[in-house]
Amino acid sequence: MIPHTDDALRMLSQRLMTQLLPDLKTIYSLSDGALIGLLINAIADEMAEGIQRRLDDIAEMKLVFEAGEALLSDSDKEVVSSPLPSFRLTDVDAHHDALTRILVSLHEKVEDKKMEVLNESIWAYLRRHTQRHKITAVP
């Protein structure tokens, strides 16, 4: 059987919030327990969707890089064109982080050169990124 980690974490959070928290005596313990429950739900969301969110970001960033290719260095182009070594979260995170650093550098160049269309494209990506990675954490 393949464990469904996100579901298991949500069940643990629900148990914490509905069965254990009501028995706690201090406000601090109640608030600390509630925060832990919310964080467990956020982790469950990451387990369920985190890699796909990053893959969506990577695909979108690559479209931005295509539009701004003339401003990328050779080493940036090499990173952008390199494939993911695996779909493990650590590898996807490392690739996502490398591309994000390139995007920030590109954005600085685009703003300096007043390239409005590409600048708006980057801001549009950043808005979609923010929506994709929004933490809901509510059970």
Query: Can you spell out the DSSP letters for 80-124?
Result: HHPPPS-SSHHHHHHHHHHHHHHHHHHHHHHHHTT-HHHHHHHHH
Residue 107 forms part of a structural domain: yes
- The pLDDT assigned to 79 comes to 98
Residue 127 forms part of a structural domain: yes
Cα dihedral 117, 119, 120, 121 sign: positive
Cα dihedral 21, 23, 24, 30 sign: positive
- The pLDDT assigned to 137 comes to 63
Residue 90 forms part of a structural domain: yes
Averaged over 70-79, what is the pLDDT?
Answer: 98
Domain count, the chain: 1
Domain that holds residue 118: 5-132
Model confidence, pTM: 0.81
For residue 70, the one-letter residue type is A
Residue 45 forms part of a structural domain: yes
Residue 95 forms part of a structural domain: yes
Residue 139 forms part of a structural domain: no
Average pLDDT of the chain is: 91
